[in-house]
Amino acid sequence: MSQGVAVVGIYVSDQDEALAFYTEKLGFEVHTDVKNGTYRWLTVRYPEQSVVQLGLFVPESPMIDADSARALRALVAKGAMPPLVLEVKDVRATCARFESKGVELTQPPVERFGSVDASFRDPSGNGWKIVQSR
């Protein structure tokens, strides 16, 4: 049995919208999509990285109170959460593929530090950095 990080969660404003973005535009696959009452546990994973899942969670009860949920939604929408990093073999090709599917880059590919990186945000405001493998 392997041990380690299995799910990294991010807050999204709408799980259906996030699911469509991550699967249809970025190429992630659904790992788990189950409900318990009104609570929905939704995770996706990058096809070439089957171990770690990305949880797409709405800030709401039973996890947090209503005031905290409103504050978190506002912070996510402003892009205030730490960026996520997607490592790829070819940043330029990945950006071209993403843009062809409607993903808007917030920073086009730039060469620096011996690599290439770019940035985009998801529909909820979460920032992503795309970094080329060395």
Closest C-alpha among 73, 81, 86, 55 to residue 95: 86
Closest C-alpha among 1, 21, 6, 2 to residue 125: 21
Contacts of 104 (CB under 8 A, 6+ apart): 120, 121
Q: Determine whether domain 7-132 maps to CATH 3.10.180.10.
A: yes
> Please, are residues 44 and 23 in contact by the beta-carbon 8 Å criterion?
yes
Closest C-alpha among 65, 42, 61, 38 to residue 53: 42
- Is residue 119 over pLDDT 70? yes
- Average pLDDT of the segment spanning 32-56: 93
- Is residue 1 over pLDDT 70? no
Q: What are the pLDDT digits (tens) for 77-96? A: 998 988 999 999 999 999 99
> Please, are residues 56 and 43 in contact by the beta-carbon 8 Å criterion?
yes
- Is residue 2 over pLDDT 70? no
Q: Which of 6-20, 23-37, 50-64 has the lowest mean pLDDT?
A: 50-64
User: What residue ranges do the domains of the chain occupy?
Assistant: 7-132
- Is residue 11 over pLDDT 60? yes
Establish whether the linkage from the previous residue to 62 is cis, with ω within 30° of 0. yes
Contacts of 43 (CB under 8 A, 6+ apart): 7, 30, 31, 32, 33, 53, 54, 55, 56
The amino acid present at 98, given as its one-letter code, is F
Q: What is the pTM of this model?
A: 0.91
What does the mean pLDDT of the chain come to? 93
